Amino acid sequence: MRWTVRGLRLVGALIAGAVTALVGLLFVVAAAPFADRPAVRRAASRLTGLELRRLRLRLPDRREGGELRFLAARAPVGLLGGLVVLLLACGIGMGSVLAWSWGRGEAIDGMPPTPPLLTYAFLAGSVLLFLNLSGLVGVEALERRLALRLLAPDPAEALRRRITELTESRAGVVAAVDAERRRIERDLHDGVQQRLVALSMLAGRARRGRPELLGQLHEQAQQALVELREVAWRVYPSGLDAHGLQEALAGVAERAAVEVTVACELPERLPATVETAAYFVASEAVTNAAKHSGATLVTIDVRREGTMVVVRVEDDGMGGADATGGGLTGLARRVAALDGRFTLTSPPGGPTLIEAELPCA
């Protein structure tokens, strides 16, 4: 069943490729004299993006200026794919006619269904079907190879970009760690420390004959404990190691100032670094939604997609989130340090969607 679905998907992709090959060829012929204009480049980029989606190829860093060449080069390949599909359809039609007629004992062009003729037809049809199916797979492989050859960045350039990304991500991690330390110090100084000072003063006054202050003393002690737990969870959630990501996210939902729903569909425990990054992405996103967006509902969705773990956090707030803000910048750096991708979509009026893709293979 799986192979049948893949085969039908391949045939559909090649049929679509034949149609887009004609469109692309007409576009190249019409746009070639104006290749340097920005509008032409944008149109070529959009057509190329459609082809890459059809081929299920992801090239986030495409080579600049190669779209028109790719569209021109893939036109004959796309038409070849359409021709191979047409031959497959003709072969299936002819085979169906032969099977129908000979199954009823009728002769075709004066040829009755004798055993030697049936054997010959079966062997010839099997060979032609094999060649045709090989042609389908070969055309798809050729299209993918052509796209990689003309659109993928030069290996040396890709290596230079990778070195630059690693350098920036390393510096970003250091900056994020320093920022987190400053935030912890600020939380301790402005929150817990002030609470403990008030606690000490109340204890002193209670010792001087003010027993009615014992209730306030107990309340302040409880508040100090709550704030210490909050700071500790922001540093690192101890329950993450013991109970896993789902339980840790459930704790985020319980402590949040807004309603939070959690869907965590993971077949197994993730590596510790990935699990930690996924937790902090969700936790920081919920905190931002509660503080700044005016949201009433936040949805956390964590699932495995191939070799990636995808964390999506969406709120129904007012939108307009700033990707350069301290918290979101720190999350982006944390995800980049693991070779992941971090995206923020927050149009004015909402909703805000934060998505992190973390490799876990």
Same domain, 26 and 141: yes
- Residue ending a domain, choose from 153, 188, 221: 153
What pLDDT score was predicted for residue 31? 84
pLDDT band at residue 114 under the 50/70/90 scheme: confident
Does position 189 have pLDDT exceeding 70, yes or no? no
Segment 131-150 mean pLDDT: 89
Which of 153, 183, 209 terminates a domain? The answer is 153
Q: What percentage of the chain reaches a pLDDT higher than 70?
A: 77
What's this model's pTM, rounded to 2 decimal places?
A: 0.49
Buried b / exposed e over 126-142, threshold 16 CB at 10 Å, is eeeeeebeebbeebbee
Would residue 295 count as lying in a domain?
A: yes
pLDDT of residue 301: 93
Q: Bigger pLDDT: 42 or 113? A: 42
Residue 100: how many CA atoms within 13 Å on its side-chain side? Answer: 6
Q: Let me know whether 134 and 25 are in one domain.
A: yes
Cross-strand bridge partners of residue 48: none
How far apart are the C-alpha atoms of 180 and 188, rounded to whole Å?
12
* Structure-token match 């459930």, residue found: 250
The pLDDT-based confidence of 225 (bands split at 50, 70, 90) is low
Spatial CA neighbour of 305 closest among 49, 94, 58, 29: 58
User: Considering the domain boundaries, does residue 162 fall inside one?
Assistant: no
Residue of higher predicted confidence among 187 and 344: 344
**Tokens representing 230?**
């909050």
Same domain, 181 and 141: no
Q: Are 125 and 200 members of one domain?
A: no
317, part of any domain: yes
Is residue 187 predicted with pLDDT exceeding 60? yes
Residue 300: what pLDDT?
93
The domain that holds 312 is classified in CATH as: 3.30.565.10
| 159 located within any domain | no
> Does residue 22 fall inside a structural domain?
yes
Does 191 map to a domain? yes
Q: The domain containing residue 189 runs over which residues?
A: 172-235
In a domain, 137, yes or no: yes
User: 261 and 229 in one domain?
Assistant: no
Residue 361: what pLDDT? 66
The yes-or-no verdict on residue 332 having pLDDT over 90 is: no
Residue 172 has pLDDT above 90, yes or no: no
Q: Are both 211 and 255 inside the same structural domain? A: no
Task: State residue 211's pLDDT score.
Answer: 63
Domain identity same for 340 and 259: yes
Whether the pLDDT of residue 111 is over 70: the answer is yes
34 with 148, same domain? yes
Structure token pair of residue 270 = 């993730």
Q: Are residues 206 and 250 in the same domain?
A: no
Q: What share of the chain in percent tops pLDDT 90?
A: 10
Instruction: Domain count for the chain, please give it.
Output: 3
Flag whether pLDDT at 174 surpasses 60: no
Q: Are residues 221 and 248 in the same domain?
A: no
Examine the fold and report which residue of 153, 184, 215 is the final residue of a domain before the chain moves on.
153
Average pLDDT score over the chain:
80
Q: 243-273: per-residue pLDDT in tens?
A: 888 888 888 888 888 899 999 888 888 888 8
pLDDT at residue 190, as a whole number: 65
| Interval 190-207 mean pLDDT | 66
Residue 114 and residue 224 in one domain: no
Q: Are residues 337 and 210 in the same domain?
A: no
Average pLDDT over residues 43-62: 83
Q: Give the pLDDT confidence score for residue 215 in this predicted structure.
A: 65
Whether 354 maps to a domain, the answer reads yes
pLDDT of 28? 86
